[in-house]
Structure 1
């Protein structure tokens, strides 16, 4: 008797962690269910270790500005990608194609719609990005990372199912660690980071803010800070001068573990960061990236702020003086920190990968 062939799902995700991490989590969930997975991505993810049967590199480009020449080049590149994806989908015959946002997902999902293959679009942010808005009317179903998605019409809303943002196994393990609020004059652990590439503003603002604290509060601090390689020496020297215990690095491979150990997190508010912060349940001071056309990080931070789990500070107001005031206020109220941690966790979803896998299999009919 011939062995049954496992159904195949093609995942489409751009070459950044914000798109690849949730796709990776879904791949793991599908593999556990006996579903094979291929990945369609761009050249940035060529060396990313991904649990896929095959990786297909699809040409892509991002629309930037309104320069006619640049627009023509981008359109041509997306068209090339769609033709390549058309060929790949015809050859591998997936049961469904799942996109995780960004322009690298446009060619595979467009090609899938041309071929009549069911499609699922996952929107990780609190507001739908430009690439996903372009695709929304074409796809079969839309999964959302947040319960409320701003600025969508009724036709798109009818396709939406809340799944949450899939998080990595490290995050799921870290979510099992209960929040231990700081006690009296004990250590106050701060975790500071700015996303996968770091953020200069964190290096510019956080050390001067800590310098403004009373010496008694500075003595309690242990700061773990991610910084760009070119900023690490200056950040470390600043903390050394202040006598503040600290650990600085350009990248922390165990960031979820460090998040679980923190009393307070100061960070950007990308979709993956907010998903991990809420899944683990830690209070945050969130500083959205200010220059995004879609203002997705502003919306993401707003969701966690409305839930009571974070303080949102727009970058124009993220000064050493403002940050110092927030740290002083929170350090003086351990019960408030504990309440924020609980509120953050109430907004989290640790089983998002399984929820998304359910929707994908339902859409595919497998």
Structure 2
């Protein structure tokens, strides 16, 4: 079996794609799995690190806001779009796949569409409750549509061939031991709060978390707070420490980037983060309470709709960035800590939303598709 997976843009697209690749390889060790994506994108590093062959195709989205800079970007996007047809044809000719899977990002569009036109078996996976434009366009052409959320089925426009399977998460997320993880960060009996805004960092999250950390230290709370600033937030957070009169120490650990997320999620009682599909899938798999701050800078505002599903289930509290202040975050955390059993109940609710068999369901259907059963 030869498989080509197209995914790019964000970890929320790429990590589910890698999880699917790993599951297919486990089910069929002889399978040859290739990836297509942008060489300048996040996918190149993650895919090559995982050891899969990578095929470069350049494709960009069009910018809607009419600025001079965006005009230039759109000219480049048109150029790449014109080249995407021949490049896709060359990749398909080289790989000769039996199956092509699109896991999101602009790169999925030309690759999956060309494969479908050639009669190659095709599938897509939509990670969000509010589907992206690319997958909505592809849904009518592919053989199978996988949706993470039931809320996405009608929006994708192909309910007759759509399966609700959840978001696949890395096996190491599902297998982490909580007691061992808490011991590794010396949590003791303290409530562990984990906060982050992504690998680059989110300025507003850094600002309000700094106020929260200052409040925690001023009130000597029995809390261990673990915070990742992101690469763009390192200097900012150092300045905020001085401004708000707090400092890392026994109850506060500040890092640029979290490279052991499975361990920290296992140790955490409360997570403060954006609401990308990958993050939410991991919160659900782990069963963690959360305060979710959707990014306002994503297509179709999909992070907000993702977050609402957890809030409606009693698993999270959603604070939109336009309403986010340090005081608002402090009040929210204070209320959660003050109610015995509240974080545990929210975590239990989160776990009911996850699908631990997501990878099994996806893999079984893909093998069925390829084998024609």
Does the TM-score normalized on the shorter chain lie above 0.5? yes
**Cα distance 1:327–1:358, how it changes in 2: closer, same or farther (>3 A)?**
same
Partner residue in 2 for 1:187: 190
Partner residue in 1 for 2:20: 26
Worse-superposed segment, 165-174 or 304-313:
165-174
Alpha-carbon separation, structure 2, partners of 1:129 and 1:349: 21
Q: Is the 8 A contact 2:61 2:106 kept in 1?
A: yes
Alpha-carbon separation, structure 1, partners of 2:109 and 2:358: 23
* Displacement of 1:131: 1.8
* Displacement of 1:126: 0.8
Question: Any idea what the Cα deviations from partners look like across 1:14-46, whole Å, max 9, x if unmatched?
Answer: 153221111111111011111321111111233
Q: Is the 8 A contact 1:232 1:249 kept in 2?
A: no
Aligned: 1:229 with 2:263: no
Q: Is the 8 A contact 1:191 1:223 kept in 2?
A: yes
Q: Is the 8 A contact 1:128 1:151 kept in 2?
A: no
**Cα distance 1:80–1:138, how it changes in 2: closer, same or farther (>3 A)?**
same
Q: Is the 8 A contact 1:98 1:121 kept in 2?
A: yes
Which runs of structure 2 are paired with 1:46-61 in the superposition (5 Å)?
A: 46-48=44-46, 49-51=48-50, 53-61=52-60
Alpha-carbon separation, structure 2, partners of 1:248 and 1:124: 30
Which runs of structure 2 are paired with 1:1-366 in the superposition (5 Å)?
A: 7-34=1-28, 35-43=31-39, 44=41, 45-48=43-46, 49-51=48-50, 53-65=52-64, 70-149=73-152, 152=155, 155-174=157-176, 177=178, 186-212=189-215, 215-216=218-219, 218-227=220-229, 228-237=233-242, 238=244, 240-241=246-247, 245-365=251-371
* Displacement of 1:211: 3.3
Structure with bigger helix share is: 2
Q: Is the 8 A contact 1:190 1:223 kept in 2?
A: yes
Provide the aligned length of Structure 1 versus Structure 2. Answer: 353
**TM-score normalised by L of structure 2:** 0.87
Aligned-residue Cα RMSD (Å) equals 2.5
Q: Is the 8 A contact 2:197 2:274 kept in 1?
A: yes
* Displacement of 1:173: 1.7
Alpha-carbon separation, structure 2, partners of 1:272 and 1:294: 17
* Displacement of 1:87: 1.8
Alpha-carbon separation, structure 1, partners of 2:81 and 2:228: 35
- SS of equivalent to 1:111: helix
* Displacement of 1:291: 2.6
Structure 2 segments unaligned to the other structure (5+ residues) = 183-187
